[in-house]
């Protein structure tokens, strides 16, 4: 057997294999090319948006149907100029772009206005028709208000407003807030009584200076002459007023000796003298 330990042969060291890698320069164009395409796309979108917006602005400033004619129905409490000011309308505006609903809402903010109707007529006209509330009485609720025929308290009286209406007392703003339904029903009953007084017999509305309401009892009238209390109560107003109208003139002769008159019975009248 060969003794390698004592051999003169020496193994040569072999150098490890090394491959020299040559680094290539970074190709920035490869990475920038997509970014360039994106930037160009964004620029094109921005340019298109600018053109479209410019076209929109130019189109929006074109008045296609210029308003020339405004027809306003005659009103008793509001002038034509006041109605047009409330509506915010004047000749020259674009008929197509007018918001009629908003115009109507602005007109309804005036307490005299009950309903409003606005129509558009191409190419150049609109019509405004309003119906106004008519007072039937004055309600003293701390502030003094007008009352319309539907039982609506609708306007605080200002200087210059007419005062020649019957005065209704016994209502309050507090009750209107706490019991709106009950108060509204009582105000509607007030209007019913007022209508009967206006339409019936010898005892007419002109003979009444005040109508007082009591939540527990009902209504009491006070005559214009002498402030004589006439108790009416609640309900069946027509029959009560008709009975009273038949004897009213005769009773007025005795007025100085009468304390009050009570109509709140089915078939009779109580005259209390004092």
Residues 47-64 have pLDDT tens digits of 666 666 555 555 555 557
What CATH number matches the domain at 69-132, 3.40.640.10, 3.20.20.10, 3.10.20.310, 3.30.1180.10? 3.10.20.310
For 123-150, what is the mean pLDDT? 95
pTM, rounded to two decimals:
0.71
Q: Is residue 108 within a helix (H) or strand (E), and if so which, with residue range?
A: helix 100-108
pLDDT number for residue 213: 97
Domain boundaries, given as residue ranges, for the chain: 69-132, 135-273
- Averaged pLDDT for residues 71-76: 94
pLDDT digits (tens, 9 = 90+) for 160-197: 899 989 999 999 999 999 999 999 999 999 999 999 98
pLDDT bracket for residue 253 (50, 70, 90) = confident
Mean pLDDT over 112-122 rounds to 96
Query: Would the pLDDT of 85 be above 70?
Result: yes
How far is the C-alpha of 226 from the C-alpha of 154, rounded, in Å? 30
DSSP codes joined into one string, 162-222: ---S-EEES--HHHHHH-HHHHHHHHHHHHHHHHHHHHSSSS-GGGEEEEEEETTTEEEEE
User: Shortest CA distance to 209 belongs to which of 231, 228, 235?
Assistant: 228
pLDDT at 250 over 90: no
The per-residue pLDDT for 251 is 83
pLDDT of residue 45: 75
Q: How far apart are CA 230 and CA 137, in angstroms?
A: 18
Task: Give mean pLDDT, residues 114-119.
Answer: 97
Instruction: Enter the CATH code of domain 135-273.
Output: 3.40.50.11690
Q: What is the pLDDT of residue 226?
A: 84
For the cut 70, the answer to whether the pLDDT of residue 199 exceeds it is yes
Q: What's the rounded mean pLDDT across residues 29-46?
A: 65
pLDDT over 60 (residue 42): yes
Res. 36: pLDDT tops 80: no
β-strand pairing of 135-141 with 113-121: unpaired
Residues 264/235, Cβ–Cβ less than 8 Å: no
């Amino acid at each position: 057997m060969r003794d390698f330990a004592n051999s003169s042969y020496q193994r040569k060291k072999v150098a490890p294999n090394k491959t020299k890698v040559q680094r290539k320069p970074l190709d920035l164009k490869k990475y920038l090319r997509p970014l360039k395409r994106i930037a160009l796309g964004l620029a094109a979108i921005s340019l298109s948006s600018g053109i479209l917006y410019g076209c929109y602005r130019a189109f929006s400033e074109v008045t296609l149907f210029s308003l020339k004619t405004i027809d306003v129905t005659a009103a008793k409490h509001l002038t034509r100029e006041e109605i047009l000011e409330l509506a915010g309308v004047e000749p020259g505006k674009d008929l197509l772009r007018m918001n009629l609903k908003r115009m109507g809402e602005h007109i309804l903010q005036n307490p005299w206005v009950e309903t409003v109707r606005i129509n558009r007529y191409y190419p150049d006209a609109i019509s405004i028709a309003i119906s106004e509330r008519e007072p039937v009485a004055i309600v003293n609720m701390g502030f003094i208000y007008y009352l319309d025929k539907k039982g609506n308290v609708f306007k605080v009286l200002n200087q210059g407003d007419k005062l020649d209406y019957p005065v209704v007392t016994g209502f309050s703003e507090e009750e209107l807030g706490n019991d709106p339904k009950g108060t509204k029903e009582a105000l509607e009953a007030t209007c019913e009584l007022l209508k009967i007084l206006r339409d019936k017999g010898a005892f007419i509305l002109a003979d009444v200076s005040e109508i007082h309401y009591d939540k527990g009892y009902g209504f009491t009238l006070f005559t214009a002459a002498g402030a004589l209390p006439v108790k009416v109560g609640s309900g069946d107003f027509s029959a009560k007023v008709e009975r009273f109208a038949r004897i009213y003139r005769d009773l007025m002769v005795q007025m100085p000796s009468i304390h009050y008159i009570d109509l709140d019975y089915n078939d009779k009248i109580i005259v209390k003298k004092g």
